[in-house]
Amino acid sequence: MGKGESTIVNRPSSILAERVTYSPEETVFFGREIAVHLQPPCLVLLEGDLGAGKTTLVKGIVAGLGAASEDEVTSPSFTLIHEYGPAGRVFHADLYRVEGERDLATLGLDELSSQAATILVEWGEKLGNDVPSPCIKIRMEHQGDDCRRILVERVEA
């Protein structure tokens, strides 16, 4: 616990939660726990390699928010944004194929940010510094086999 410098957006950040999971089910469950603490409007940036479990965690978050069932949550393809629940409540984007640093305006995410919505962005680091403050950053790491380390941080101005 404590304050530290965020490596991605270079802003002060504080650790909200840290968890090691040993199965996809545990990661989904942790997503449900995280959802309880998300208050819209809220931007959540998910970082971590392919297969780290970002989409799996989003399943739990979206289900925890009551916007859709886990099975309804799938990985959005290039610049496509999935929308769950009643109009404008939960958006899920994946920037994997986006080249270089892009801004919120280009992706249309800034319009969504103005709504009372929860916006979940896989490969959120590709937004660079162009993110509202505060936002939530979730870093996911492979720790071998089915083990994943998940760090949840609040990034300040």
Contacts with Mg ion, residue ranges (CB under 5 A): 54-55, 75, 122
Report the DSSP beta bridge partners of residue 3.
14
Asked if 56 is part of the footprint of ligand ADP (rule: CB under 6 A), the reply reads yes
Contact map string, positions 116 to 155, toward ligand ADP, x by CB under 6 A: ------x-----------------------x-x-------
Min dist CB 156 to ligand ADP, Å, is 25
Asked if 53 is part of the footprint of ligand ADP (rule: CB under 6 A), the reply reads yes
Q: Which is nearer to ligand ADP, 75 or 113 (CB)?
A: 75
Q: Which is nearer to Mg ion, 54 or 126 (CB)?
A: 54
- Alpha-carbon distance of 15 to 18, in angstroms, equals 8
- Asked if residue 139 lies in contact with residue 119, where contact means CB atoms within 8 angstroms, the answer is no
Among residues 42, 54, 92, 107, the one that binds ligand ADP under rule CB under 6 A: 54
- Alpha-carbon distance of 154 to 12, in angstroms, equals 9
Question: Rounded to the nearest 10 degrees, how much is the dihedral formed by the CA atoms of 85, 57, 4, 20?
Answer: 150
Output DSSP code: residue 26. H
Half-sphere exposure for 130 (CA within 13 Å, toward CB): 13
Asked if 48 is part of the footprint of ligand ADP (rule: CB under 6 A), the reply reads yes
Question: Rounded to the nearest 10 degrees, how much is the dihedral formed by the CA atoms of 115, 42, 30, 126?
Answer: 100
Binding at 24: pick from ligand ADP, Mg ion, none (beta carbon under 5-8 Å per type):
ligand ADP
Question: How many binding residues for ligand ADP (CB under 6 A)?
Answer: 18
Positions touching ligand ADP (CB under 6 A) are 21-24, 26-27, 48, 50-56, 75, 122, 146, 148
